[in-house]
Chain A
Amino acid sequence: MSRTSRSAVRVEKPAPAVTAPRAHPVLVGVLAWWVPGAGHLLQGHIRKALIFFIVLVAMFGIGLAFGGRLFPFQMTEPLVFLAAAAEWALALPRVASALGGLGGGNAVAITYEYGNTFLIVSGLLNALVLLDAVDLATGRKAR
């Protein structure tokens, strides 16, 4: 076998993939639960983190402005319990508004149900964002 043919059959090794160190999934999950977008920010997805933070906090604020209610965990009323669980999926805004005396709910306001919808859906969307951040951290989803 000549020199030329030997070099022709040599197999090129693929370049090693460049991977940034992954953040711990539990830390990512807790941060993403408290602050919308924080899980993505920790992993370098700055643009996505900004979108999640701005939109979800805005939705929560709109819900409060529309007279929506921060529901308590009430086991006797299953739907109220589920609404409370959904609202708690956006922890920091939920705690901050409760501490600030907001979210009493204005049941006679024409926008009351809209407000509840915005509050509940913002929490549910943050739950999806949290799962996405954890999937990125564990490697189940490609970066």
Chain B
Amino acid sequence: MTTHLGVMMLFAACVAAVFGALLRDDPRDQVRMAGRIFTGLVVGAYAVGWVMYIAF
């Protein structure tokens, strides 16, 4: 896997899984938290990418 998007999503999924398990105790809450972190990381990376593309 050598696409930026694929690697970034893989990285975000790993980080989200660990933080979801760390920050919540209930399995359903863990999944919800991990989903939120994953979305935040991917959307944040897209946003920062677009800002850098437009501004620099």
Contacts and interface: CB of A to CB of B under 8 A. Distances in A.
Interface of A: 47-48, 51-52, 55-56, 58-59, 62, 66, 110-111, 114, 117-118, 121-122, 125, 128-129, 132
Given A110-B2, A114-B7, A55 B22 contact: no
Contacts of A132: 22
Given A62-B10, A66-B7, 19 more contacts: A47-B21, A47-B27, A48-B21, A51-B17, A51-B18, A55-B17, A55-B18, A56-B18, A58-B14, A59-B14, A110-B2, A111-B2, A117-B11, A118-B11, A121-B11, A125-B18, A129-B18, A129-B22, A132-B22
A59 B17 CA distance: 11
Nearest to B18: A125
Contact of B22 (A66, A122, A128): A128
Nearest to B16: A55
Interface of B: 2, 7, 10-11, 14-15, 17-18, 21-22, 27
A112 to B, nearest CB: 11
A124 to B, nearest CB: 10
Contacts of A118: 11, 14
9 contacts: A48-B22, A51-B17, A52-B21, A66-B7, A111-B2, A117-B11, A125-B18, A128-B22, A129-B18
B41 to A, nearest CB: 12
A55 B14 contact: yes
Contacts of A58: 14
B24 to A, nearest CB: 10
A47 B17 CA distance: 12
A92 to B, nearest CB: 17
A114 B9 CA distance: 12
